[in-house]
Chains A and B, each alone.
Chain A
Amino acid sequence: MYKRIFYLSISSGIFAAFACIVYNKVYFFAFEIEFKKQVNPGSVIGINLLACIAAGAGYYLFKSLLRKYADRVFNIVFMCFTFASLVVPLAISLPLDVQNPELFPALAIPMHFFPFVGWFSLKPFFIRD
């Protein structure tokens, strides 16, 4: 079981990172603004993999402890963490040399949903109820 969860974590992390990179390109095309220091392939891949591996660890823990109710509880917890994480791009103060910091949340907030989306999109391929 843990192998499948691990593969799901890695796959959803890569999927989310790819979605972030594409969205970053689209955002640049739309607004002609980049936040290179904050959003770059390295940081995006690292953060998304970390988020999805943490989600995988949590899912494994819930499966071990709650068994029957694990999925329901995990989904709620994952959703809560995702929403809570939205505070970060709203509250963060960027370096003063970054132009148009008011456009940063519109870039970063959708990205915070990508691990969640990636996880649930790919879950049926790895774990069957």
Chain B
Amino acid sequence: MKKAIYPFAAILLVAASAFTFIKSQDWKVNDDYTIKFSSEDPSGEFKGLQGAIKFDETDLASSKFDVTVDVSTINTGNGMKNTHAKSDKWFDATKFPTINFTSTSIIKTPSGYDAKGNLQIHGVTKEFTIPFTFQKTATGGIFISSFDINRLDFNINTAEPNHGASKLKVDLNIPVTKA
């Protein structure tokens, strides 16, 4: 009878392992992150990044980004431009206070990763892909991304398509530590 315990235990272990799930790593954003945008005019940055970042290079299926950026934190270096950017003519920060990105899938690419998901700006939600790389550091890692975005796709001041640049380059540098 005792001999039967070992095969039984082995079967139980194998069976149990089938129900084991790997929880993706949660990351906490460090304060020194940067969200910069640049064009001929304007250029600047956002602060106020919040949300949940789950990312595991070995388990992309359960990795997920669900983040928001506070529109009122926009800084172009010029007070007048900041005020205009937050007005109803541009971002309308009172009505649409945040920019949201929720990933639906993350896939490996030759140069890094692609986070596919829904980007909501100015109340307009569009499918959007954010390419990024992840560099491991001693204390955690850094998400680095660079992509272009067209403000007209999100109905931002479509009445004046040539007032300032319509296409802007966005550069993200987001150092994180394990949560």
Spell out A's residues near B (CB within 8 Å).
90-96, 98, 100-105
Interchain CA distance A91-B42 in the complex, whole Å:
12
Taking CB as reference atom, which chain A residue is nearest B80? A90
Interface flag for B123 (CB, 8 Å): no
Main secondary structure on B side of the interface with A: mixed
Q: In this assembly, does B110 line the interface, its C-beta being within 8 Å of a C-beta of chain A?
A: no
Which of chain B's residues have a CB closer than 8 A to the CB of A100? 79
- Looking at B1-9, B60-68, B70-78, the stretch in contact with chain A turns out to be B70-78
Find out whether the CB atom of B83 lies under 8 angstroms from the CB atom of A101.
no
In the assembled complex, the CB of A84 is this many whole angstroms from the nearest CB of chain B, namely 17
Question: In the complex, A62 Cα to B66 Cα: how many Å?
Answer: 67
> How many contacts between A and B, using CB within 8 angstroms?
34
Chain B: interface size category: 10 to 19
Contact between chains at B77 and A102 (CB < 8 Å): no
Task: Say how far B60's CB is from chain A's closest CB, in angstroms.
Answer: 33
Q: Which residues of B contact A (CB under 8 A)?
A: 36, 42-45, 75-83
Cα of A16 to Cα of B81 in the assembled complex, Å: 29
B36, B45, B77: the one contacting A94 at CB < 8 Å is B77
Q: Are B44 and A94 in contact (CB under 8 A)?
A: no
Nearest-neighbour CB distance to chain B for A77, whole angstroms, equals: 27
B36, B42, B43, B79: which contacts A102 (Cβ < 8 A)?
Answer: B79
Which residues from A are CB-within-8-Å of B42? 93
Knowing A98-B77, A101-B78 are in contact, say whether A93-B43 is a contact too (CB < 8 A).
yes
> Within 8 Å CB of B81, what residues of A?
93
User: How far, in whole Å, are A98 and B42 apart by their CA atoms in the complex?
Assistant: 16
When C-beta atoms are compared, the residue in chain B nearest to A98 turns out to be B77
